[in-house]
Amino acid sequence: MAKVNPLAIIGAGAWGSALALAATRNHFAVQLFGNDEYHMQSLIAARDKQGLFLGTPFPQELIPCKNLEEALTGVDDVLIVVPSQAFTSVLKDILHIAPSVRIGFATKGLAPQNQQLLSDEVINHTSADHPIAVLSGPSFASEVARDVPTAVVIASNNTDFRQALKTRFDCDLFRISESDDLRGVSLCGVMKNVMAIAVGISDGLNYGANARSALITHALQEMQALGQKLGADDATFTGLAGVGDLVLTATDDQSRNRRFGLAIGQGMAVDKALADVGGTVEGVANAPVLIELATKHHVTVPICQHVVSLLRGDIEPETLVKALL
């Protein structure tokens, strides 16, 4: 078997680390870098001492890196796993150092500067034929790290790149489906977070299973409506990236977006709810950007609009749910 160059994973938070661990299970080398210097030093020390990584023996294939240049040394493929607000900056840094690398991402968000899908943002900084891929679907980082059964999708504009990523990740308990719908898979990863906030608010108000099911149904319709205007494939929204990730994020309390909505529904102020949840609540940052994107394409997105109105203090949680139903 021909030697495969290491995969660079940029972003050493929970999701990036879980994906790094998943790739090493197939015995492929991963060069991992994150911007938290103390965290990276602790990972390097743990590897040197043959300690633990996410509760497992430190994989010999995993190489924590001191800086971005080291992480990109000798790699053909990169997977960006950083919050959406940092995506463009990280992308530029990567392309400055290694302009020919193939760019994959597992970030679920929009570029806030220009309301672009992240797949389009990569094209803006490379070209339409530059190999790009997105990994998305119903997958909590903690469960991927524990190696419990998970199924996700990789979409790409390049068959070789898609296959290379599938080869690295696909195994008995981490199954990879393939797609060429970059825009649809990217959009699903953004919108499901906002939808999960709305469902969380409803559950925080104890409105029950009927309301929850209705909101999830309306959410999927809203996702499809915008997706159609962006040229996405309808089948994407009924697959893992769409309804799969929507149900996961909207109904399980491992989801930060859902927990944020629950706290709001239970009467907590927005700032307090954000602090209480901890970590990045992507739906909060992306809801207003989604509205701008939808407005550009003349699509009405009532769930997104009501979530933004609530975040601004213009409406109460009860108003949001009743209006959407």
Does the structure show a pLDDT above 80 at 143?
yes
What pLDDT does 128 receive? 93
Section 143-162 average pLDDT: 97
Q: Which residue ranges does the chain devote to CATH 1.10.1040.10?
A: 190-324
Number of Cβ atoms within 10 Å of the Cβ of 298: 7
Closest CA to 140 of 257, 25, 231, 233: 257
Section 281-303 average pLDDT: 94
Q: What share of the chain is helix, strand, coil (3-state, %, to 5)?
A: 55, 15, 30
Contact assessment for residue 243 and residue 137, using Cβ atoms and an 8 Å cutoff: no
What pLDDT does 1 receive? 47
Contact assessment for residue 310 and residue 320, using Cβ atoms and an 8 Å cutoff: yes
Does the structure show a pLDDT above 60 at 79?
yes
Predicted confidence (pLDDT) per residue in 196-245, tens digit: 999 999 999 999 999 999 999 999 999 999 999 999 999 999 999 999 99
Q: Which residue ranges does the chain devote to CATH 3.40.50.720?
A: 7-180
Q: Compute the distance between CA of residue 220 and CA of residue 161 in angstroms, rounded to an integer.
A: 29
Looking from the CA of 282 toward its CB, the CA atoms found within 13 Å total: 23
Does the structure show a pLDDT above 70 at 87?
yes
Closest CA to 62 of 81, 41, 51, 47: 47
What are the structure tokens assigned to 302, written together?
A: 């009532």
Architecture of domain 7-180: 3-Layer(aba) Sandwich (3.40)
Query: Which of these is catalytic: 3, 49, 92, 192?
Result: 192
Residues listed for the chain: 325
Q: Compute the distance between CA of residue 65 and CA of residue 243 in angstroms, rounded to an integer.
A: 36
Does the structure show a pLDDT above 70 at 104?
yes
Predicted confidence (pLDDT) per residue in 236-269, tens digit: 999 999 999 999 999 999 999 999 999 999 999 9
Q: Compute the distance between CA of residue 253 and CA of residue 140 in angstroms, rounded to an integer.
A: 11
Q: Is 192 a catalytic residue?
A: yes
Q: Which long-range contacts (CB under 8 A, 24 or more apart) does 86-95 make?
A: 86/35, 87/111, 87/118, 87/121, 88/113, 88/121, 88/125, 90/10, 90/11, 91/121, 91/122, 91/125, 92/125, 93/68, 94/10, 94/68, 95/125, 95/126
Contact assessment for residue 4 and residue 42, using Cβ atoms and an 8 Å cutoff: no
Predicted confidence (pLDDT) per residue in 111-125, tens digit: 878 889 999 999 999
How far separated are the first and last CA of the chain, in Å rounded?
A: 56
CA-to-CA separations, 265 to 197, 200, 317, 324, in angstroms, rounded: 10, 7, 6, 15
pTM: 0.94
CATH number of this structure's domain 190-324: 1.10.1040.10
Section 170-182 average pLDDT: 97
Amino acid at 82: V
What are the structure tokens assigned to 68, written together?
A: 């971005």
Strands 102-105 and 30-33: unpaired
